[in-house]
Amino acid sequence: MLATVPTAPSLNSIGTGTGGFLHPEKIVSEFGVREGMSVADFGSGAGYFTILLGQMVGESGKVYALDIQETALDNVRVKARAVGLKNVEAIRTNLEVVGSSGLPDSSQDMVLVVNVLFQSDKKAEIIREAKRVLKDAGRLVLIDWKFGTGGFGPPEERRADETAMRNLIAGEGLVFEKPIDAGQFHYGMSFKK
């Protein structure tokens, strides 16, 4: 059974938000999240998606928030406690090193990578780590900045081109599944292992 996006308690009451550039509450409905799933949020930041996913997978599921910044992970921990989630685990890691997440091989139903690849010169390594931890038929969801957003977001030269990312991920052996509507400033794609 697909999980629905929870409406209470209000995440806005604990200060989540992405500056209006992304709307996690709308986007997650396209991910196919179900109760009991195990999900890794690569580059979770302050947990805009992590908390929603934790609510959606329920008590029988698990969400791993992975980030290199301990302050971001502290925010995830605070937000998870504020909404009573006990199924969110924050892990400090460098995702550019294959194996560094500490997650077992083939352990995740889904890996989410939001606004991470534009920051990295080691995009293939991040995708390899995602593939390593995905179960067979597991799903990789990628969301990143589009080009030409009128000056919003990172510099154009740092952005990860949508076609290039699709080709990179396919080159790592994942199969393109469908586009994801990530709004005006971002593109989204879903792949299966």
**In the prediction, which pLDDT does 113 show?**
95
Given a cut of 70, whether residue 17 has pLDDT beyond it is no
In this prediction, residues 7-31 reach a mean pLDDT of 58
Given a cut of 60, whether residue 19 has pLDDT beyond it is no
**In the prediction, which pLDDT does 25 show?**
84
Given a cut of 50, whether residue 53 has pLDDT beyond it is yes
Which tops the pLDDT comparison, 80 or 27? 80
**In the prediction, which pLDDT does 21 show?**
62
Mean pLDDT, the chain, integer? 87
Sheet with 186-192: list strands edge to edge.
Answer: 88-92, 62-67, 38-42, 108-114, 134-145, 186-192, 175-180
Which has the closest alpha carbon to 37: 46, 45, 28? 28
The residue behind tokens 């593939």 is: 131
Residues 6+ apart with CB under 8 A from 41: 47, 49, 50, 53, 63, 64, 65, 66, 112, 114
Q: What CA–CA distance (Å, rounded) separates 8 from 85?
A: 12
Core vs surface per residue 38-48: b (16+ CB within 10 A) or e: bbbbbbbbbbb
| HEC-encoded secondary structure of 101-165 | CCCCCCCEEEEEEECCHHHCCCHHHHHHHHHHHEEEEEEEEEEEECCCCCCCCCCHHHCCCHHHH
In this prediction, residues 82-104 reach a mean pLDDT of 95
Q: Which residues are 180's β-sheet partners?
A: 188
Crossing angle for the helix pair 70-82 and 48-57, to the nearest 10 degrees: 40
Whether pTM exceeds 0.85: yes
Crossing angle for the helix pair 162-171 and 123-133, to the nearest 10 degrees: 50
Given a cut of 80, whether residue 5 has pLDDT beyond it is no
Q: Bin 179: left if φ > 0, else alpha if -120 < ψ < 50, else beta.
A: beta
Q: In 10 A of CB 16, how many CB atoms?
A: 21
**In the prediction, which pLDDT does 157 show?**
79
Q: What CA–CA distance (Å, rounded) separates 178 from 189?
A: 6
